[in-house]
Chains A and B, each alone.
Chain A
């Protein structure tokens, strides 16, 4: 069993929709949770970086962490065609830099 599970998609939504992207994990030692966006032929770009359970908002993006359920989410409001990309969740244990990534979810926002 993988430490981090992420639905690969693809996920297609109409422009303006609310998008929900999710990851589950098995290692309760994970303390830091990240969401990256990756466009084709580019590197992962950091979107959100959270430490505690709860919600963190940045513009149209909200990251949610539920440590009791070992479940994290990324919500995108008012989705735009420019949001079409692969979204990667990543996690790490306190004090280490070794990120464990999900496989990524491909998102397509249709104009």
Chain B
């Protein structure tokens, strides 16, 4: 079974530009999550999709971040306009079971550098 796939693996953009990150979850996983790790800090939750619906977006930093999951398959996370403090590693994760906790399976992340 293919794991969680993220693209690109690395992105370097200038402040004020737009970047879109993509995540393909494990096939059949209805739950999709975005997490972020900024330098020196712990990995933090951003938001959670169940299929195409946002269940919890309490971790999104501000309205410069927009996540979508059209059709309930892959997801995109857009940062517009990017700021220096947005630099970090953005992880996507997916899980299968609903209604109960089930372990998350993470992708390798997208390393975003804003200069």
Q: Mark B43-70, 1 if CB is under 8 A from A, else 0.
A: 1110010000001101100000000000
Is A34 interfacial (CB 8 A cutoff)? yes
Contact indicator B101/A32 (Cβ below 8 Å): yes
Q: Is the CB of B43 within 8 A of A98?
A: no
- Which size class do A's interface residues fall under? 20 to 34
Given contacts A44-B91, A49-B103, contact A97 B108 (CB under 8 A): no
Are B101 and A95 touching (Cβ within 8 A)? yes
Complex contact B106–A45 (CB within 8 A): yes
Give B16-60 interface residues, CB cut-off 8 Å to A.
31, 33, 35, 41-45, 48, 55-56, 58-59
What is the number of contacts between chain A and chain B, taking CB atoms within 8 Å?
Answer: 59
On whether the beta carbons of B103 and A4 are closer than 8 Å, the reply is no
Residues of A within 8 A of B111 (CB): 41
Pairwise interchain contact A97-B44, C-beta atoms closer than 8 A: no
For the complex, give the distance between the alpha carbons of A43 and B91 in Å.
Answer: 7
A97, B106: Cβ atoms closer than 8 Å: no
Contact of A41 among B4, B105, B108 (CB under 8 A): B108
Given the interface contacts A96-B101, A97-B101, does A44 sit within 8 Å of B33 by beta carbon?
A: no
Q: Which of B41, B58, B107 contacts A43 (CB 8 A)?
A: B107
Query: Is the C-beta of B109 less than 8 angstroms from some C-beta in chain A?
Result: yes
Known contacts A43-B91, A43-B108: does B101 contact A98 (CB below 8 Å)? no
Q: Are B108 and A94 in contact (CB under 8 A)?
A: no
| Cα distance A101–B59 in the bound complex, in angstroms | 14
Q: Is the CB of B103 within 8 A of A46?
A: yes
A98-B107 CB under 8 A given contacts A4-B42, A88-B43? no
Q: Is the CB of A43 within 8 A of B33?
A: no
Q: A96-B56, A99-B43 are in contact. List 4 more A-B contacts (CB 8 A).
A: A36-B106, A42-B109, A97-B104, A101-B43
